[in-house]
Amino acid sequence: MIRERINELREIINRHNYNYYILDKPTISDFEYDALMSELIRLENENPALITPDSPTQRVGGKPLEGFKTVTHTVPMESLNDAFSEGEVRAFDTSVKKALGGDRYEYVVEPKIDGLSVSLEYENGLFVRGSTRGDGVTGEDVTQNLKTIKTIPLKISGNIPYLEVRGEVFMPISSFCALNEQREAEEMPLFANPRNAAAGSLRQLDSKITAQRRLDIFVFNVQQVAGITFATHTESLDFLKSLGFKVLPTYNTFSDINGVIDEIERIGASRGSLPFEIDGAVVKLNSFTHRRMLGSTSKAPKWAIAYKYPAERKQTKLLDIVINVGRTGVLTPNAVLEPVKIAGSTVGKATLHNIDNIISKDIRIGDTVIIQKAGDIIPEVVLSVKEKRDGSERIFEMPRFCPACASETIREEGEAAVRCVNPACPAQKLRNIIHFASRDAMNIDGLGTAILHQLVKSNLIKTGADLYYLKLEDLVNIERMGEKSAGNLLAAIEKSKSAGLSRVIYALGIRHVGSKTAKLLAEHFRDIDSLAAADISEISQIYDVGEAIAESIKAYFKTDASLDIINKLRFAGVDMTFTDTVKDNRFTGMTFVLTGTLPTYKRDEASAIIESFGGKVSGSVSKNTTYVLAGEEAGSKLEKAKSLGVTIIDEDTFKLMLQ
């Protein structure tokens, strides 16, 4: 009975995944889908022997990998020769015509997805391995990460002993914009374009991170298949579509080169309206017989060519430069332009990145400028047309005071960014409060972004400290917040008051101060007032802190808004003193590295135990490592420990050390 229900749920969920991700026609609500998935997860957890690799619950791996294994492609994943003009495309056609003699031939024209090429392998219908193209002959095994892509079927229909297909993994433009917005909030470097973001996401050792990036794929080729033959490329694509793969959105055939040229132009004209990036169009012979006749060079097939679209550039007038204050306090100059149509959309503003970029390009208000879309997404000013100046142009200077809150701005040595460091700045308000309540900070359970957004919008809170002054009547008026939920949230807020000094320091959102630095500061200064009163020299002498962090800390505690937050926390009863949690000093001076899967401990649990006995946990093995605590499937760290002669222990030995 249970086995039948599990199989039924898998079939239902897979069908809904196909409707949603492949056909883009969902047939049930998110709530109904989540209920089905929750039931399947519960039944599989209760009956682990019934879990199979193709279950929709198995898309995200349980633990990070130590590294990627290499894969040798039995069918090389060739690259294509590029063409940059109509003349080169016609020359390609001439060479094809000459090679085929009097044979009639047909081309297929497809959009060239700007992503990362991968191979997917299926044995008896099950997805068994996925790998990157690499150099075309050798790639990397990224099976676990590819499983997180919902448009890749974990199981295909039909009695097919073996199938290998090739596809292009990409990041939709909407996912790219959301990812960069998140990275900006976390003060991480932004990705330049969706292709770089997709490549970085697919090579994450932790598949949970890849799953959050919302990658997608278009499958465009059968590399090899057992027991089935095709006469044409379009026939193979129709076959892949029938198996449930998400194939290229368009693939049209043409019997003459003029039709090919028209299709290349049509695809190029559609670039600005597509939800994903393309950087060209691919022209291929449709007949596999003709492909075999032409063959390949050592680098690329002779039967295909990739036409690459140039980045479109336009001239327009730079009317003004305005400042946008980001959620991390960075002041970004943006160009206000005379509207101009470029890459399928009308552009009226563009990023200027920072003041150094403006100075190096000598861009002035009133200039005629040339703009383009970087990666066909983000408009940017490439250069100014100096010969068109008439003397009325004005040199731009970054403001000394934040336009959102009037606080004095700073520019740290060695950085291009000018920042507002006022934690109460309205432009940074929501981001700072989200950080304050997050798991590694005050860890307020049940306080998600949606609720915080409503609290800020309702003007109930302006800083994280205001959370401790909320009342039941404030919360019950929030959308979807009943009296019971409001009571639970208030209890979680109350519980967070005893989170401890290191979490408070991290929650304040001081630039450069992560959770590890916050622990070092808490251990050294013991209370928040001592940290606030410390000078730069004392702070910078702490191991692993340094002068840049010290200056950032000092700048934070100089502002009245920061001191107001500290006082609010104090009066609310938040504990801002350090309590020594070290049970004894048996591991003092020792450095541990954890690798593999331990039988009973999770990594964070084992790390916390080591730190509670005075030890340190490192992410990499060196000659200074004292012990490597190794579990099952330990990888490169274990091998490095052996080569360096570092002592290796298992969980049983570790437990003996704790007695």
Residues classed as catalytic: 112
**CB contact at 8 A, 83 and 308:** yes
Q: Return the beta strands (E) in 276-431 as ranges.
A: 278-285, 304-308, 313-325, 330-342, 345-351, 368-374, 378-384, 409-410, 418-420
Alpha carbon of residue 397 to chain centroid:
34
CA distances from 595 to 57, 108, 257 (A): 25, 49, 58
Q: Crossing angle, helix 2-17 and helix 30-46, to 10 degrees?
A: 140
β-sheet with 116-123: strand ranges across:
126-132, 116-123, 162-170, 216-225
Cα 627 from Cα 373, distance rounded (Å):
51
The set of long-range contacts for 453-459, using a CB threshold of 8 Å and a minimum separation of 24, is 454/478, 454/479, 456/429, 456/430
Cα 22 from Cα 316, distance rounded (Å):
40
Cα 485 from Cα 446, distance rounded (Å):
9
| Residue whose structure tokens are 């990998």 | 65
457 Cβ contact partners less than 8 Å away, ≥ 6 residues apart: none
Amino acid at 460: L
Rama region for 251: left / alpha / beta (φ>0; ψ in -120 to 50; rest): beta
Eight-state DSSP code of residue 161: S
Cα 511 from Cα 418, distance rounded (Å):
13
**CB contact at 8 A, 60 and 281:** no
Nearest to 534 by CA among 559, 513, 507, 555: 555
**CB contact at 8 A, 368 and 315:** yes
Nearest to 363 by CA among 319, 313, 312, 401: 319
Using alpha carbons only, how large is the chain's radius of gyration in Å?
A: 29
- CB crowding 74-88: b at 16 or more within 10 Å, else e: eeebbebeebeeeee
Half-sphere exposure of 452 (CA within 13 A, CB side): 23
Cα 206 from Cα 447, distance rounded (Å):
26
Cα 564 from Cα 463, distance rounded (Å):
10
Nearest to 151 by CA among 17, 308, 294, 321: 17
Alpha carbon of residue 33 to chain centroid:
25
User: Within the chain, how many helices (H) and strands (E) appear?
Assistant: 24, 22
Around Cβ 624, how many Cβ atoms within 10 Å? 9
Beta bridge partners of 635: none
Cα 181 from Cα 272, distance rounded (Å):
21
Cα 106 from Cα 73, distance rounded (Å):
29
Cα 173 from Cα 275, distance rounded (Å):
6
